[in-house]
Amino acid sequence: MTVERYFKDRGPELKIFRRMVSGEEPRRILDICADPGTGKSWLLRRMVQESGQAGFPCALADFAPAWQPGPIKLMRELAERLGEECFSDFCTQDALYHSMAPPPRPDSEPPGRVDLSDSDFRGAQVRDIAGRDLYDIDLHQHRPPTAAEAERIEHQLSAAFVRELRALAAKGPTVLLLDGCEHIPVETADWLSRRLLYLMRDTPGTWWRLVVVLAGRPSGPRPAFQPWADWRGIVCALDRLSDFEEQHVRDFFQQCGLYLEAAEFAFVYRVCKARPLNMASIVEELLGGRR
């Protein structure tokens, strides 16, 4: 099922999003904290679709038990989806840190290409080259970076990423969508708060048209906007999504080729109006019974 064909309703939430993107709504962060099965992921994918149709940069990162990136990997993912050409400094530094050629191998070691794309800098040695600290990868030393070295790497990459993200948002609407925030790793949630959300709160006039949408269940280490008085002017918080209207549920079933009697539909609507996951499951069951 495609979002474009089957997406229904959620007008109130999309209205908030559209007002944020257009600049009519001064708040820059939309925090959706709702129960599972209520359509958070479906809504964010509709936001991706609308952003694409309008032609402005949008990146969706979907945290899950199988995908829990650290801060640097998340920045890399967002930069790639927003357009690496807009993050040239970040990408250059990231490439230097992750893709420097290893030293020659001993004769006793079989040749072969080493993939450093997910390197966590084990065995990194710091060298000062042209006034900039670079990390020379030494695969034979097997020394993890010190805490200070790891912090310096993250700080340099974060500074470049945030600077270029701010510049991109100065040109026009830019959207970051973070789904499954209940699965976000603790260190990544901390990075997101310290390096981005706090900056957006403390320097609101410099972020122009950047919109950040966080969606997830009310659990896990997701960023918390406390005390609320400090965030009221920049965060729009939703603790539930609006119910589907009766006609939208009926339209969904009819688009799927299902026409229910009035009594059947009344029961289905009570079950589905707040949980679109139920709506999709019922359609699947009913269509399966016809085969």
- The residue-averaged pLDDT of 206-234 equals 92
- The residue-averaged pLDDT of 255-275 equals 89
Do 158 and 70 share a domain, yes or no?
yes
* pLDDT over threshold 90, residue 277: no
Do 171 and 66 share a domain, yes or no?
yes
* 84-88, 128-132, 243-247, 250-254 — most confident range: 84-88
- What is the C-alpha separation between 211 and 152, in angstroms, rounded? 28
pLDDT above 70 as % of the chain = 80
Do 277 and 255 share a domain, yes or no?
yes
Q: Would residue 16 count as lying in a domain?
A: no
- The residue-averaged pLDDT of 133-157 equals 69
CA 169 to the chain's CA centroid: 16
Domain range for residue 250?
A: 246-290
* pLDDT over threshold 60, residue 167: yes
* pLDDT over threshold 70, residue 245: yes
- The residue-averaged pLDDT of 54-81 equals 96
Q: Would residue 181 count as lying in a domain?
A: yes
Q: Would residue 129 count as lying in a domain?
A: yes
pLDDT band at 115 (very low <50, low <70, confident <90, very high): very low
* pLDDT over threshold 60, residue 254: yes
Q: Which helix (H) or strand (E) holds 139?
A: none
Q: What is the pLDDT of residue 6?
A: 53
pLDDT band at 107 (very low <50, low <70, confident <90, very high): low
Q: Would residue 2 count as lying in a domain?
A: no
Q: What is the pLDDT of residue 139?
A: 44
Asked if the peptide bond before residue 111 counts as cis, ω within 30 degrees of 0, the response is no
Please state whether 185 falls in left (phi above 0), alpha (psi between -120 and 50) or beta: beta
Do 226 and 131 share a domain, yes or no?
no
Tokens of 175: 């959207």
User: What angle is formed at CA 19 by the lines to CA 237 and CA 279, rounded to 5 degrees?
Assistant: 65
Q: 61 with 182: CB under 8 angstroms? A: no
Q: What is the pLDDT of residue 252?
A: 86
Q: Would residue 4 count as lying in a domain?
A: no
For CA atoms 192, 198, 201, 207, the dihedral sign is negative
Do 158 and 54 share a domain, yes or no?
yes
Residues 6+ apart with CB under 8 A from 282: 268, 271, 272
* pLDDT over threshold 70, residue 137: no
- The residue-averaged pLDDT of 243-269 equals 89
Tokens of 142: 């097997």
Q: What is the pLDDT of residue 101?
A: 39
* pLDDT over threshold 70, residue 211: yes
Q: What is the pLDDT of residue 209?
A: 92
Q: What is the pLDDT of residue 143?
A: 61
Do 62 and 100 share a domain, yes or no?
no
List, for residues 7-64, the tens digit of each pLDDT value.
667 889 999 999 999 999 999 999 999 988 888 998 999 999 999 999 999 999 999 9
List, for residues 173-188, the tens digit of each pLDDT value.
999 999 999 999 999 9
Q: Per the structure, how many domains does the chain have?
A: 3
* pLDDT over threshold 90, residue 290: no
Q: Would residue 6 count as lying in a domain?
A: no
In one letter, which amino acid is 101? A
